[in-house]
Structure 1
């Protein structure tokens, strides 16, 4: 098999996360440079264009919504003084109506986790009309050790903040405010602040489509002031939300909101390259490798640095994608199926680029055998284990197990099942289209280091560098682990590309019906 080079991976990361690319913002100069760089590398590697009109690019039309610092959120209790919240320090939020301003004064209601899941006999909106109201809720979902109840400790899509806003809009709420806690979100307020206190991208609304006038978050401390209006604490509200039989609770307050928003139309793009397969028939099918190129661009300076470099997230994944494309193109005997190398846009805003690809694939979804995603690799060197989130849900799992055996790797379980990582990266968009999909992630059992070092380093990175300007490349990085994870994915991809049968999902999986529909077309 063609060799994977850590030196080339290092060089790509160094360039993609440099100040020159200004954090690879979507709809910004740095993002355009990143896509030109990736497309140019594809061309140099002999990877053919697989985008639109003979190019490497698939256009994705989005709307940029930038909340203004003058955004106001005031709680008005029935029997107490107004409670003004401070922008960024107490709350963040955005007007999703794609208008330049939304102002309203509306009653508030606490809806627990904001979930309607009939398959689990759970409805936080039971017998309640929230039209024209602001729903207050927590992210995540009711905890359980029962794998048949919200899949136990592993978060489902019902726990994602994106679902919360989608369900609130379906219910006709005018606004939705999530009370942030680190346990329910799995990250600190600084991540929310850096991600939401800037322009975000959204899919363009269709004529007449309803959207929330305000989708926001408040800190735990701000949530305490809201909870106190009914004599509760945030912990007590969360306990209520976690309890079966929960019913919505009207809050004795109104929210007054002013959400001035700077709106612009954004034309961004996915970058797609193709290496043709060797089989006359199977070359019309493909294995996909993906990694998102975008990060947060320029933002609020931290220690004087306004560039959110995104070296780990996801300069590493892009670099590995380019090295995988080089290795596949250099194979002396090409696999039977083709390979698509896809670097997608706007992952940070909610998987928008991969979602567009899933809805508009260059070949039918039923002809895509597998999607392997690379997102955020740490520079800690090699490990004894590897995490392959979601692979056990597919018929490809025996191939994954054999590849791990050949690399002398243990397949480790999801280290953060409660964080819902399967629903937070681009493979989820492929899965929604029915395509068997998963991400490869680094293990935490690091070679040559004491037990627990990987967990300690990850916690430190999450606390100090995730979605911060400090996510920078350094020349002392150990990229040997990235080399191995790229080789591991290459082996899985070539095995699937040569398999006579198309993979699918395991019986009973939530994505199996979509796969069956795609195969029937």
Structure 2
């Protein structure tokens, strides 16, 4: 095709300049169309890579060798080491008690929260922190009603942990994209009643007043019906139009859940009047059961949630201002239909 085009162009230019000038716009349109298709395919390929990379973390974290990652257990310890290696490999600054870790012993001994900071590029705005986190613990060998087999917790919450790890890798490689800094959080002992995040709020390793927003990612591996719940959204002024715009091209069905309950690690932040919410794809019949394994994960759904989270954090990190906390969200009653 290349040879024919060159021959045609030279011939046309030599014999009829007007003819060549009429053909050129059509060729330009063809070139633009090809480029648009190429960009679209490249974006789709990048999204697929995001989903596959996220899933590989899940396969590791939710493997039998991690024994269900009960808080304070040997398996939980191994999961924590896996997480901190990725933080170190991506030059994330430790933000725990002199390391990536914050140790605590409530409920179980040897529990470990994990924290790191990815600094923003703006001299002033980088003092502000966007907290992005997920709990990495699960229920080990189960609870009283279903104990025995290993509960691997692929969706709960290896999926959220893996999504945050990919956000870490992305923003570590693109530090100049964010003016504000990221505080990445991996919570232990969530399954015992948000113990890790509550402990940190009472014993913070950074100045809590620097935190302007909390993004919590908990169970995002089962995008059934293409619906993503945004729990806690009422704590945030003006969130809906922002999320609806960022969702363009991803086209997840966003479910703005009215109910606000203490069901995950965004809640201690909301209680401190820090705006935030949780990405959540919903409960399912494998919840807290041995069948919550990697093969049940929706990889395409992981891609979509991960991309939306990336877009939202980019928006928070670059906007002139961040959304304010809605004080009335803690007391208002659901309007009657």
Unaligned runs of 5+ in 1: 65-265, 444-457, 513-521
Match of 1:96 in 2: none
Cα gap change, 1:478 to 1:501, in 2 (>3 Å): closer
Contact map agreement 1:381 1:480 (CA 8 A) in 2: no
> Is 1:61 equivalent to 2:108 in the alignment?
no
Task: Please give the secondary structure, in 2, of the residue aligned with 1:297.
Answer: coil
Match of 1:20 in 2: 65
Contact map agreement 2:220 2:305 (CA 8 A) in 1: no
Cα gap change, 1:423 to 1:332, in 2 (>3 Å): closer
What does 1:120-519 correspond to in 2, within 5 Å? 266-299=109-142, 306-331=149-174, 333-380=176-223, 383=226, 385-397=227-239, 398-405=241-248, 407-414=250-257, 422-442=261-281, 461-462=284-285, 465-474=286-295, 477-510=297-330
Contact map agreement 1:290 1:341 (CA 8 A) in 2: yes
Task: Please give the secondary structure, in 2, of the residue aligned with 1:371.
Answer: strand
Contact map agreement 2:96 2:116 (CA 8 A) in 1: yes
Contact map agreement 2:112 2:187 (CA 8 A) in 1: yes
Contact map agreement 2:228 2:281 (CA 8 A) in 1: yes
Distance 2:260 2:217 in 1: 13
Distance 1:332 1:365 in 2: 22
Number of residue pairs matched by the alignment: 286
User: For residues 320-376 of structure 1, what are the alpha-carbon distances to aligned partners after superposition, in whole Å with 9 as ceiling and x for unaligned?
Assistant: 110111111111623110011101011100001011222333332222111111111
Task: Please give the secondary structure, in 2, of the residue aligned with 1:273.
Answer: strand
Cα gap change, 1:501 to 1:309, in 2 (>3 Å): same
Quote the offset at 1:495 in angstroms: 1.0
Q: Give the structure with the higher percent helix.
A: 2
Distance 2:102 2:143 in 1: 30
Match of 2:8 in 1: none
Contact map agreement 1:391 1:400 (CA 8 A) in 2: no
Contact map agreement 1:312 1:471 (CA 8 A) in 2: yes
Task: Please give the secondary structure, in 2, of the residue aligned with 1:333.
Answer: helix
Distance 2:291 2:134 in 1: 21
Distance 1:7 1:381 in 2: 18
Unaligned runs of 5+ in 2: 1-42, 333-337
Match of 1:33 in 2: 78
> What TM-score comes out, normalization by structure 2 length?
0.77
Distance 1:316 1:409 in 2: 17
Contact map agreement 2:275 2:326 (CA 8 A) in 1: no
User: For residues 61-116 of structure 1, what are the alpha-carbon distances to aligned partners after superposition, in whole Å with 9 as ceiling and x for unaligned?
Assistant: 3134xxxxxxxxxxxxxxxxxxxxxxxxxxxxxxxxxxxxxxxxxxxxxxxxxxxx
Distance 1:500 1:413 in 2: 25
User: For residues 417-443 of structure 1, what are the alpha-carbon distances to aligned partners after superposition, in whole Å with 9 as ceiling and x for unaligned?
Assistant: 6xx564201110111122111001238
Distance 2:171 2:238 in 1: 20
> What TM-score comes out, normalization by structure 1 length?
0.51
Match of 2:19 in 1: none
Contact map agreement 1:300 1:306 (CA 8 A) in 2: no
Distance 2:146 2:133 in 1: 33
Contact map agreement 2:61 2:79 (CA 8 A) in 1: yes
Distance 1:497 1:60 in 2: 31
What does 1:65-144 correspond to in 2, within 5 Å? none
Distance 1:489 1:281 in 2: 24
Quote the offset at 1:52 in angstroms: 1.3
Match of 2:20 in 1: none
Distance 2:322 2:203 in 1: 20
Contact map agreement 2:236 2:326 (CA 8 A) in 1: yes
Distance 1:511 1:47 in 2: 38
Quote the offset at 1:26 in angstroms: 1.2
Quote the offset at 1:299 in angstroms: 4.1
User: For residues 492-516 of structure 1, what are the alpha-carbon distances to aligned partners after superposition, in whole Å with 9 as ceiling and x for unaligned?
Assistant: 111112223243212523289xxxx
